[in-house]
Amino acid sequence: MSRPAPAEGHVLVVDAGSSSLHLAVLAPDGTVAARRDSDRAPGPGTADELRALLADAPRPGAAGHRVVHSGPRLRAHTRVDDAVRRELEEAAALAPLHVPPALAALDAARGELPDVPHVACFDTVFHNGLPLAAREYAVPAHWREEYGIRRYGFHGLSCAWALDRTAELLGRSARELQVVLVHLGGGCSATAVREGRSVDTTMGFTPLEGMAMSRRSGSVDPGAITWLQTRYGLSPQEVEDALNHRSGLLGLSGTSDDTRDLVYARARGDGRAAAALDVFTHSCRRAVAGVAASLERLDALVFTGEIGEDQPEVREEVCAGLGLLGLRGGLTVPGAADLAGPATHVGPPGSPVPVVVVPTGETGQVDAETRAVLRSGP
């Protein structure tokens, strides 16, 4: 009996984070046949994690890998060979929290499954068509031309998934919608989509730019950074560590980077928790309003990501402060049954702008993109 073509069989999806590893085997209809999650970053034990998953799963005919940054030369989701692997090594410097763990997991998977095609699926691809005005920084030409300084955008796999699920919910084509997609999780971003294309987004050259995040600062006046370096002698490594690991909700509250903890602490009178949530939701409102300026109208505001999906207080506070865009508070809180589906309305009755929650879907999108690459040929 012949094996099915790689695009028609089961697909192993590998999603490696800076402090986690998510593995899943998906059937051709998109259902999850097996999964394994770890709260440890990829490393020496990753091959063991893969073997443990594959021992209880259908044999995959292909593997898809989520990679945050494609680097300056890879412009599409692509099969991985040794040349592509070298390109990804160069991209690691642009996203040092995310790409090195993804490469460790990629290498382990290629070692365990050397006879199946491996496909790299990039978060940056969704934003490849950013218009010049949204893509370019106002910096010297040789920075842009020689050093490649430009805005890449991230969370693209999440955006693609959320856009399609929203279109299905609204009964419209994704290519006719104008929406703002808000991914709120460990990293946070807002993206404006017009006619199926990203036209503005808050993350830029790295995933550090934009709104305040769980442990990342988001945008900070560059003058403050150079001032810290010249006045107080902070090294680039100290600055990078502080902005990526000790800022955001954690830096503001001093206690937690988890909005659930902070909502609870605020209710008990913790002023720093309240301030952290105020900064966070204000940052999100400012991001939504900023990217919405690239649209002609707003057909929906879409929340996804762990916080966007699970934290109704954050959604409420964001929408209640965006009356200028036709949004308002009074959102409904979806139950577990609602969130088990692909998307759900949470806006108040009669709201002129639908508010939609889409459960996080990078795994499903990596599966879909992997199959599309394999169907397109070698």
Percentage with pLDDT > 70 across the chain: 99
Strand partners, 122: 67
pLDDT in tens, 213-254: 999 999 999 999 999 999 999 999 999 999 999 999 999 999
Q: Which of 82, 12, 17, 32 is nearest to 370 (CA)?
A: 12
Catalytic residue among 123, 257, 270, 310: 123
Average pLDDT over residues 255-281: 98
Which helix or strand (DSSP H or E) is residue 181 part of? strand 178-184
Distance separating alpha carbons of residues 127 and 64, to the nearest angstrom? 20
Q: Which of 120, 130, 127, 107 is nearest to 50 (CA)?
A: 107
Per-residue confidence band for 340, with pLDDT thresholds at 50, 70 and 90: confident
- pLDDT value at position 90? 87
Residues 6 or more apart in contact with residue 333 via CB below 8 angstroms: 312, 346
Average pLDDT over residues 7-35: 93
Per-residue confidence band for 39, with pLDDT thresholds at 50, 70 and 90: confident
Round the average pLDDT of the chain to a whole number and report it.
95
Q: Which of 330, 325, 333, 321 is nearest to 301 (CA)?
A: 325
- pLDDT value at position 129? 94
Q: Taking a C-beta distance cutoff of 8 angstroms, is the pair 91, 70 a contact? A: yes
Average pLDDT over residues 198-205: 97
pLDDT in tens, 67-112: 999 988 899 999 999 999 999 998 888 888 889 999 999 999 999 9
Give the long-range contacts of residues 3-9, CB within 8 A, separation 24 or more: 3/61, 4/28, 4/61, 5/61, 5/374, 6/61, 6/62, 6/116, 6/117, 6/374, 7/61, 7/62, 7/370, 7/371, 7/372, 7/374, 7/375, 8/61, 8/371, 9/60, 9/61, 9/62
pLDDT in tens, 293-302: 999 999 999 9
Looking only at the bridges linking them, the beta strands covering 344-345 and 300-304 are unpaired
pLDDT at 3 over 70: no
Q: Taking a C-beta distance cutoff of 8 angstroms, is the pair 151, 134 a contact? A: yes
Helix or strand or coil: residue 149?
Answer: coil
**What angle, rounded to 10 degrees, do the helices at 312-320 and 259-267 form?**
80
* Amino acid type, 259: T
* Residue positions counted in the chain: 378
* Amino acid type, 184: L
In the chain, the N- to C-terminal Cα span, in Å, equals 24
pLDDT at 279 over 90: yes
Distance separating alpha carbons of residues 312 and 315, to the nearest angstrom? 5
Instruction: Please state the three-class secondary structure of 323-373 as a single string.
Output: HHHCCCCCCCCCCHHHHCCCCEECCCCCCCCCEEECCCCHHHHHHHHHHHH
Average pLDDT over residues 167-186: 97
pLDDT in tens, 349-370: 989 999 999 999 999 999 999 9
pLDDT at 1 over 50: no
In the residue annotation, 123 being an active-site residue is answered as yes
Helix or strand or coil: residue 162?
Answer: helix
Distance separating alpha carbons of residues 189 and 183, to the nearest angstrom? 5
Quote the tokens at residue 266: 């605020």
pLDDT at 2 over 80: no
Strand partners, 24: 13, 35
Of 104-113, 173-182, 305-314, 337-346, the poorest mean pLDDT is in: 337-346
